[in-house]
Amino acid sequence: MTDKVEQFDDLFGRFDSKEDIAVIEGNKEVFLNAQKLQEVSSSVGGKILIATLRENITRSLLALFETRKSRYVSDIQANFDLLIKLTGAESQSQEILDWLDEV
């Protein structure tokens, strides 16, 4: 990962417009965050967390259908948001790495 961070740093020397620098900084930040999430999601604890989130979503959906209580909607949304962040980190990282290779 250090090599990729160095590639971002090299880009700052090649581009000087504010817009280009903002794009590079934004992509670097997204990449670093995605890498952290990818490390968590690929660990044993992260895999357990992902399985638990899926179970919680299923349970909340069933409870919502059975009881029609709207409080389950926020539970589903929170669990789903976290699940998406954890499971989408790898593809997000790869997209930025592809962009970095193209630049």
Q: Is pLDDT above 70 for 14?
A: yes
Which uninterrupted H or E stretch holds 99? Answer: helix 71-102
Query: pTM for this structure?
Result: 0.71
Summarize pLDDT for 31-89 with one digit per residue, the tens. Answer: 999 999 989 999 999 999 999 999 999 999 999 999 988 888 999 999 999 999 888 88
pLDDT at 89: 86
Q: Is pLDDT above 70 for 1?
A: no
3-state secondary structure of 68: coil
3-state secondary structure of 17: coil
Domain range summary for the chain, segments of one domain joined by +: 2-96
